[in-house]
A and B are shown apart, each in its own frame.
Chain A
Amino acid sequence: MTASSPEAPLLRIDAVTKNFGGFVALDNINVEIRKGERFGLIGPNGSGKTTLVNCISGALRPNKGAVLFGGEDITLLAANQRSHSGIARSFQIPRPFRSMTVLENLMVALDFAARRELLETETHRRDAAMSILTRIGLASKALVATTTLTQVELRKMELARAMATGPKLLISDEAMAGLSASEVDEVLDLLMSLGGEDVAVIMIEHIMQAVMRFSERVMCLDAGRIIAIGTPAEVMANARVQEAYLGS
């Protein structure tokens, strides 16, 4: 495999099919995501967005097809191994470690991080966690129990925890659901700043302005199939996308 060549995609979803009993959640999905790309994933409820994310992050295994990351087949790897190879995610409904403080939530990621050269001692890890929290804007909440956080703080904490694993691909699963307009902007700016040269971001979102502003490319799923993929403007203009969202 040519893992290091610049043309090789960071993530390749190769003919992935996932069904739950008779229900086909993902039907022969093929897509590639480049290094550092900002990728929007949209689609009506139940179209398979989260299932796709679960297949990428390892929470589910596809029935058919393969997931390649950095040129390596990761279809059969456990979620923690995928985390070590550079895939991180947030959850649609936040899943903090409830018995811990915000800082400790990040410490879990750093304790078990794959690249440990700079994380040898507890002090190093603590500093690393604090610097991520500062970047995310949660430094003042570091020693607070996660149970006392507000919704937007929980979302940010999940992104911070995901970043603490040192990802090359960050998947944000509806990190803006249920937030106010100003909070949406806040989280969007955050995601913009987290993505970049080294970190590709897949953003699942229902808030269209956010997806349009954020994404370099957008893919729209409907009933487990890709119905459109391209620049945000192209996808928005697509008749099938409009039909999926608004009805015919």
Chain B
Amino acid sequence: MQRSSILFWAGAVIFLAVVFFMTQSLRNEYPFFAGYVILQFIVLSVAWTILGGYAGYVNFGTNAFFGVGVYTAVLLFKALGAPLGIQILAAAVVGGLLGLGVGLLTLRMRGIFFSIATIALAIVIETAITNWRFVGGAAGIQLQRPPVMPPFDSYVKMLFFVQALMVVIAIAITRFIQNSRIGRGLHALRDDELAAECTGVPTLRLKLLACVISGALISAGGAPAAMYLQFANPDSAFNLNYSVSVLAMSLIGGTAHWIGPVLGAILLGSTQQLLAVTISSEVNVLVLGLMLVLFVVAAPKGIIGLVGRLTGKGGHA
């Protein structure tokens, strides 16, 4: 194993150990309640970056994948009483299939047209769910959490740990893609799809792969939200705010390296949590918009581009 890999996995183990220790020692539930949202946004942003950053296909339908994750969990829980792990795995599968569909869109659409198509996709799916009585329809559905599993003493703490685990999985997958030839192929097709094809890059296969993995991870990251809120309705599960937030987090962090969306999600996610407590949750969106404008103007390559520029290494992180 390379030195950077050893460092990465050591960091991951320490991170999970600290998270686990926190769930066992802290009594107050609020930090976990707020922290869960930040971890969730790390998963979503990192997963989004595979397609939106590396491959350059800006997916504006994060909310579609998120909502599909939520409702896969709802459906399985209501119909079969499936445990959390199964809910997440099933959400990943359904999200992956949806990703495959979105991937086929890339055959005919790129740039802004692709982005618009992904928004349309979200609306179509939301409308379908809204009209599906079994999962609650437009009014939404109340969910009764099952008893928490030891060693955890509260369900929110357990969800916090599960989401931390997914952060590690999402980053590990994204990091693998970035360091393998898949990553180089995605960058090549982002720069110039025809030139990539003529240089031997199987662009369609790579785009489908990126869509499936990105979609599966976003849906998996969204699945526990049903149990977290103990409630799901189409309006919130398919809220466009997820798309906007994830896009902003990834771009503000920088999409050239997996650390970018992680930093962006931590920065924006904690700012949002802070604002929600101190001022109001509606100010969130305003601050998000302002920060996005600020970064697009002052640091188009995000935080990692900014750091690279300051340390004189250019944009090649």
Which A residues fall within an 8 A CB radius of B?
Answer: 57-59, 78-81, 83-84, 88-89, 91, 95-101, 104, 107-109, 111-114, 145, 161-162, 164-165
Contacts and interface: CB of A to CB of B under 8 A. Distances in A.
A101 B187 CA distance: 12
Contacts of B198: 57-59, 79-80, 83, 88-89
Interface in B149-185: 181, 184-185
A88 to B, nearest CB: 7
Q: Determine the main DSSP class of A at the interface with B.
A: mixed
B191 A84 contact: no
B200 A95 contact: no
Contacts, number: 78
Interface of B: 181, 184-185, 187-188, 190-192, 194-204, 314, 316
B200 A112 contact: yes
Contacts of A88: 198-199
A99 B204 CA distance: 20
B185 A108 contact: yes
B195 A95 contact: yes
Given A59-B194, A97-B191, A98-B191, A112 B204 contact: no
B184 A108 contact: yes
A79 B194 contact: yes
Given A79-B194, A80-B197, A96-B195, A112 B187 contact: no
Nearest to B201: A112
B263 to A, nearest CB: 20
Contacts of B197: 58-59, 78-80, 83
Contacts of A98: 191-192
Given A59-B194, A108-B201, A97 B181 contact: no
Contacts of B185: 108, 111-112
A58 to B, nearest CB: 7
Contacts of A97: 187-188, 191-192, 195-196
Contacts of A111: 181, 184-185
A77 to B, nearest CB: 11
A57 B200 CA distance: 11
Given A97-B192, A100-B191, A162-B199, 18 more contacts: A58-B197, A59-B197, A59-B198, A80-B201, A83-B197, A96-B191, A97-B191, A97-B196, A99-B187, A99-B190, A99-B191, A100-B187, A101-B316, A104-B184, A107-B184, A108-B201, A111-B185, A112-B199
Contact of A165 (B187, B199, B204): B199
11 contacts: A79-B198, A80-B200, A83-B198, A83-B199, A84-B200, A88-B199, A98-B192, A100-B191, A108-B199, A113-B200, A162-B199
A98 B315 CA distance: 12
Given A79-B194, A96-B195, A109 B202 contact: no
Nearest to B256: A99
Given A97-B188, A100-B191, A108-B184, A78 B202 contact: yes
Nearest to A111: B181
B195 to A, nearest CB: 4
Nearest to A88: B198
B224 to A, nearest CB: 35
A113 B314 CA distance: 29
Nearest to B182: A111
A239 to B, nearest CB: 37
A112 B181 contact: yes
Nearest to A104: B184
B190 to A, nearest CB: 7
Q: Which of B188, B192, B202, B203 has the most CB of A within 10 A?
A: B188
A79 B197 CA distance: 6
Contacts of B203: 80
B51 to A, nearest CB: 16
Contacts of B194: 59, 79, 95
Contact of A95 (B184, B190, B192, B201): B192
